[in-house]
């Protein structure tokens, strides 16, 4: 492990260890940032994101169709406790000379000290941050302070495919049952994972999985698989969806970072018992999604050769799906989404909790779209903090036809709770409940905070209601 630099310092009365991972020599560093942590240099990778804004942060009018890349960057390290981070903004950075900085999520309250073109701040432990010099979203720096890695496998361990530091090109592979794919810190891996009918599989490490050399299929795809765990890796340059789960059971995705300039981050499709925890995701389409898809037509997605969406194929539930403790940046479409494909027996027991939506600059922040037959029920959005929302709709629940519709009927939406959801916005953002093709019933806004004020009725949060919508309530917060 000679390619890993380990620094130890005193943090209060406890020792805090920091582990950094030098990059392969074939990878060029970002021309715009340099980073140190506790005095140790951290390699800064350039990373592709959609071009959505100019240098002043003004959104481009054609950002929905433009796929040029802007000069963002990322770095990562492991820490057991507090760490002091120094970021230098280099000459030629598109934001111009450093005058100010915004560090998101805002709830961390990080206010760096600025001196010339350098900013310095401390973190208390593992955290995922977006550093935005001069408040511009054009070329952010993403800093991923990971927890210390526990029990990494040895290169010759049975059942382990070990990809050590350096550049690898693995193509499109299936990870077999009862095995581990390990991407060590400092590993830069070109490839796609495409696994079917596998059980007891782990993909982990601190390495990077780059999808740019593959086809337009999903970057990581699990189909009819069980007992899947992904932890610690970073996905970049996806050609399509980042992680697709289709007809899977018992999946855990933890501390994975996804920077996808093409499409979605994670889509849990007709799968049960899925937990997504501590993920950072920036996407050019839906970020966190729950869908109902059959196992037909290319495994349920997309449409056939005639661009028709078929109801054929085996259906099952999407149940007990949790998105937790995560950071979301959505450049297009929806940040926290259910649907519009809802071809399942039911979609139920869905939880989005403790999520920071640091930017949402397109359609909806929160959406539940019933456009096929599955009933959608028992959905909770809890402790959701929305910072920068420049969207068409803040919250949208709708039951009606979509471009993906295959069924002749559309399912009821019932028992949806918004608890401790907050938004700060300088301009009004409208929400909507549109029950055009079936009923929406039992939607409860429990402490929905709009610009610091708890909403007490539809008008107080600019909520428009249409169609067969019933039992829409604003209960008083419990003391």
Task: Give 277-306 pLDDT, tens digit per residue.
Answer: 999 999 988 999 999 999 886 655 556 666
H/E run at residue 168:
strand 166-173
Which phi and psi angles does 107 have, rounded to 5°? Answer: -65, -20
Task: Give 100-116 pLDDT, tens digit per residue.
Answer: 999 999 999 999 999 99
Q: How confident is the model at residue 238 (pLDDT cuts 50, 70, 90)?
A: confident
For residues 183 and 144, what is the distance between their CA atoms, to the nearest angstrom? 16
Instruction: Break the chain down into helix, strand, coil percent, rounded to 5.
Output: 0, 55, 40
DSSP 3-state of 460: helix
Does residue 66 register a pLDDT over 60?
A: no
Does residue 65 register a pLDDT over 60?
A: no
Task: Give 154-194 pLDDT, tens digit per residue.
Answer: 999 999 999 999 999 999 999 999 999 999 999 999 999 99
CA angle at residue 59 from 56 to 64, to 5 degrees? 150
Given a contact cutoff of 8 angstroms between Cβ atoms, the answer to whether 273 and 318 are in contact is: no
pLDDT at 315: 95
pLDDT at 217: 73
Comparing CA positions, the residue from 242, 171, 240, 236 lying closest to residue 207 is 236
Question: Mapped to the 3 state alphabet, what secondary structure does 67-125 carry?
Answer: CCEEEEEEEEEEECCCEEEEEEECCCCCCCCCCCEEEECHHHCCCCEEECCEEEEEECC
For residues 258 and 416, what is the distance between their CA atoms, to the nearest angstrom? 28
Task: Give 403-434 pLDDT, tens digit per residue.
Answer: 889 999 999 999 999 999 999 998 899 999 99
pLDDT at 239: 84
Furthest-apart CA pair in the chain: how many Å?
A: 67
Q: What one-character DSSP code corresponds to residue 175?
A: P
First to last CA, the chain: 53
Q: CATH: 2.120.10.30, 2.60.350.10, 3.40.50.720, 1.10.10.10. Which one for 18-147?
A: 2.60.350.10
For residues 424 and 131, what is the distance between their CA atoms, to the nearest angstrom? 20
Domain boundaries defined on the chain: 18-147, 241-473
**Per-residue pLDDT averaged across 140-167, rounded?**
96
Task: Give 366-376 pLDDT, tens digit per residue.
Answer: 999 999 999 99
Does residue 257 register a pLDDT over 90?
A: yes
Query: Taking the mean position of all CA atoms in its chain, how far away is CA 210?
Result: 16
């Amino acid at each position: 492990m000679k390619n890993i630099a380990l620094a130890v310092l005193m943090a209060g009365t406890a020792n805090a260890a920091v582990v950094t991972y030098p990059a392969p020599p074939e990878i060029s560093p970002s021309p715009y940032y340099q980073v140190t942590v506790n005095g140790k240099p951290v390699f800064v990778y350039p990373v592709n994101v959609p071009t959505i804004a100019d240098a002043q942060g003004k959104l481009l009018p054609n950002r929905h169709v433009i796929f040029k890349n802007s000069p963002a960057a990322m770095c990562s390290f492991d820490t057991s406790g507090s760490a002091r981070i120094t970021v230098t903004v280099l000459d030629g950075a598109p934001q111009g000379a450093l005058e100010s900085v915004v560090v998101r999520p805002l709830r961390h309250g990080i206010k760096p000290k600025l001196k010339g073109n350098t900013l310095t701040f401390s973190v208390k432990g593992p955290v995922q941050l977006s550093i935005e010099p001069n408040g511009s979203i054009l070329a952010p720096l993403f800093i991923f302070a990971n927890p210390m890695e526990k029990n990494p496998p040895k290169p010759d361990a049975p059942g382990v495919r070990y990809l050590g530091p350096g550049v690898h090109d693995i193509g499109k592979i299936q990870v077999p049952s009862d095995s581990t794919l390990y991407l060590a810190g400092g590993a830069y891996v070109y490839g796609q994972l495409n696994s079917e009918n596998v059980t007891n599989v782990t993909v982990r490490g601190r390495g990077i999985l780059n999808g740019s050399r593959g086809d337009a299929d999903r970057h990581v795809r699990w189909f009819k698989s069980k007992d899947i765990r992904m932890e610690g890796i970073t996905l970049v340059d996806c050609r399509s969806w980042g992680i697709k789960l289709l007809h899977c059971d018992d999946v855990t995705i933890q501390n994975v970072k996804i920077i996808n300039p093409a499409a979605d981050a994670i889509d849990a499709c007709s799968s049960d018992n899925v937990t997504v925890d501590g993920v950072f995701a920036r996407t050019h389409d839906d970020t966190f999604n729950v869908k109902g898809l059959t196992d037909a037509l290319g495994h349920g997605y997309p449409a056939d050769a005639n661009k028709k969406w078929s109801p054929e194929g085996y259906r099952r539930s999407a149940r007990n799906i949790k998105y937790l403790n995560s950071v979301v940046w959505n450049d297009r479409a929806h940040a926290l989404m259910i649907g519009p494909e809802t071809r399942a027996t039911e979609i139920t027991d869905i939880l989005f909790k403790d999520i920071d939506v640091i930017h949402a600059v397109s359609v909806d922040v929160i959406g539940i779209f019933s456009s096929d037959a599955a009933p959608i029920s028992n959905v909770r959005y809890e402790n959701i903090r929305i910072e920068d929302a420049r969207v068409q709709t803040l919250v949208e629940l709708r039951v009606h036809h979509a471009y993906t519709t295959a069924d002749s009927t559309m399912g009821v939406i019932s028992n949806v709770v918004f608890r401790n959801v907050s938004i700060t916005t300088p301009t009004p953002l409208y929400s909507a409940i549109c029950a055009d093709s079936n009923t929406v019933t039992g939607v409860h806004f429990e402490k929905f905070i709009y610009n610091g004020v708890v909403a007490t009725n539809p008008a107080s949060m600019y909520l428009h209601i249409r169609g067969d919508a019933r039992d829409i309530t604003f209960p008083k917060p419990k003391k």
